[in-house]
Amino acid sequence: MWKIKAWAKRLKQQIYVLYLSYKDERVPWYAKIFTACVVAYAFSPIDLIPDFIPILGYLDDVIIVPIGIMVALKMIPKEVISECDDKAKNMMKNGKPKNWVVGSLIILLWSIIMLWVILKAYQIFS
């Protein structure tokens, strides 16, 4: 049980590292785009596979997010990761950042996607 908690804590810290790395000018543009997508997905309250679906619901939390983090960390220069890792440790001690604008944009984006899916489904079935 302790291994799972330690793994989850490390995963959370790595998400903060990606969050901070995204803002660094030394990170290539393609890495910034991928990193932003991984962080947005990790912080998003809406999952690709809803959690209420047995077994598959937690698939994204256990497989998709860690793989995305691993790929994003490989794209970012080591010195940036090292600096951001120290900052992330401090952030975890002091509490996570609250950015209501970004949170609102994520919810708006997912709402637009869901509306588009509903409209397409309506067109297909009517």
> Is 13 within a domain?
yes
Assigned token pair, 99: 């950015």
What is d(CA 19, CA 40) in angstroms, rounded to the nearest whole number?
9
Confidence of residue 72 (pLDDT cuts 50, 70, 90): very high
**Percent with pLDDT over 70 in the chain:** 90
Tell me the backbone φ, ψ of residue 47, rounded to 5 degrees. -100, 155
Residue 62 Ramachandran class (φ > 0 left, ψ -120 to 50 alpha, else beta): alpha
Count the domains in the chain.
1
What is d(CA 49, CA 60) in angstroms, rounded to the nearest whole number?
7
pLDDT digits (tens, 9 = 90+) for 11-23: 888 888 898 898 8
37: containing domain:
2-96
**CB 6 within 8 Å of CB 64:** no
> Is 7 within a domain?
yes
Is pLDDT of 8 > 80?
no
Confidence of residue 30 (pLDDT cuts 50, 70, 90): very high
